[in-house]
């Protein structure tokens, strides 16, 4: 398949490129800078500028673009960037899909389990309604930007959980502390964390592109959600370290500002759509995920 990718320079995008190449797919990578190879094409989503010939005739589009929610403090300016970097890229791609003569068969747009907000112990399938909070509002606009696609284009909204991997993501920032034995539960530690490994996220994207029965929202989370304290203990244990130093909520707010509310939120999302489609997780439980990370 010929797959157009955006957000390729990010944490998930780099792993997804490798996964798709291993599966034999060819990719065209959208970049904002001048292209460094024939596999890259320049675009400017802030100006809604994209050569539609790139989309015309492609088999699939996967849009991962968006400013990292854990990258900086949430100033008013950065909150605006979190929204615009997602909505502008999605709208630009969706507009191109609507206009080309031969649109792709599937459009997979990233989203997040932040869609559900802080929901306590409630089990959240893809049918659960939207929650409240800044990230829920972001996800509403993000998903709406890809809601108007031509008939025959299968639309998938990948609501991704907390990605466990080295080199990036919110969880990646914790790993050096855990290796040093300085980590512990965040806040009370009782909030549900919808984790998934980086390897399984990339495999899930490849799966939903190939499986023509999947459409609509899909929770990209592991099959066994765990409370934060269990996730932290498993990760620390895989490095042979304790996890006895809890991080109080006020300290998180001081360190990461607005994102702390989402770190402390309880989101018990489950991968109903992935499981029903026969997707097999490489790391189905937090123990195997922690061992993979440590390895």
**DSSP sequence for 194-217:** -EEEHHHHHHHHHHHHH-TT--EE
| CA 161/CA 260 separation, integer angstroms | 15
- Name the pTM for this structure: 0.94
Per-residue confidence at 212, pLDDT binned at 50, 70, 90? very high
CB 186 within 8 A of CB 247: yes
Beta bridge partners of 125: none
Backbone angles phi, psi at 250, to 5 degrees: -65, -35
- Topology classification of domain 2-294: Rossmann fold (3.40.50)
- Strand, coil or helix: 256: helix
- How many residues appear in the chain? 295
- Strand, coil or helix: 253: helix
| CA 286/CA 179 separation, integer angstroms | 17
- Strand, coil or helix: 29: strand
Model confidence pLDDT, tens digit, residues 122-162 = 999 999 999 999 999 999 999 999 988 999 999 999 999 99
∠ CA(136), CA(68), CA(277), 5° rounding?
A: 60
Beta bridge partners of 227: 192
| CA 166/CA 182 separation, integer angstroms | 17
CB 270 within 8 A of CB 223: yes
CB 182 within 8 A of CB 247: no
- Would you kindly state where each structural domain of the chain is located, as residue ranges? 2-294
| CA 30/CA 54 separation, integer angstroms | 9
Model pLDDT, residue 218: 98
Q: Look at residue 71 and tell me whether its pLDDT is greater than 80.
A: no
Helix 76-99 and helix 134-144, axial crossing angle in degrees, nearest 10: 20
DSSP H/E element including 265 = none
Per-residue confidence at 245, pLDDT binned at 50, 70, 90? confident
Mean pLDDT in residue range 63-92:
91
Model pLDDT, residue 256: 63
């Amino acid at each position: 398949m010929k797959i157009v990718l955006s957000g390729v320079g990010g944490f998930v995008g780099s792993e997804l490129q490798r996964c798709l190449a291993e599966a034999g797919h060819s990719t065209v990578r959208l970049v904002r800078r001048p292209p460094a190879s024939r596999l890259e094409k320049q675009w400017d989503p802030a100006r809604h500028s994209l050569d539609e010939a790139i989309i015309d005739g492609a088999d699939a589009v996967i849009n991962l673009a968006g400013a990292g929610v854990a990258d900086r403090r949430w100033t008013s300016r950065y909150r605006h960037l979190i929204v615009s970097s997602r909505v502008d890229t999605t709208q630009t791609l969706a507009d191109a899909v609507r206009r080309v003569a031969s649109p792709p068969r599937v459009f997979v747009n990233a989203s997040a389990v932040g869609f559900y907000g802080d929901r306590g112990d409630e089990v959240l399938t893809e049918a659960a309604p939207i929650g409240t909070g800044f990230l829920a509002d972001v996800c509403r606009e993000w998903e709406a930007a890809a809601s108007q696609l031509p008939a025959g284009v299968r639309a998938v909204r990948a609501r991704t959980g907390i990605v466990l991997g080295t080199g990036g993501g919110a969880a990646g920032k914790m790993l050096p502390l855990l290796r040093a034995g300085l980590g512990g539960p965040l806040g009370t530690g009782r909030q549900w964390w919808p984790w998934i490994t980086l390897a399984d996220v990339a495999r899930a994207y490849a799966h939903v592109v190939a499986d023509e029965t999947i459409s609509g929202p899909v929770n990209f989370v592991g099959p066994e959600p765990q409370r934060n304290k269990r996730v932290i203990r498993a990760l620390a244990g895989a490095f042979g370290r304790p996890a006895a130093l809890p991080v109080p909520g006020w300290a998180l707010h001081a360190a990461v500002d607005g994102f702390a509310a989402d770190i402390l939120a309880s989101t018990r999302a489950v991968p109903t759509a992935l499981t029903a489609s026969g997707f097999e997780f490489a790391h189905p439980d937090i123990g195997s995920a922690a061992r993979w990370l440590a390895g």
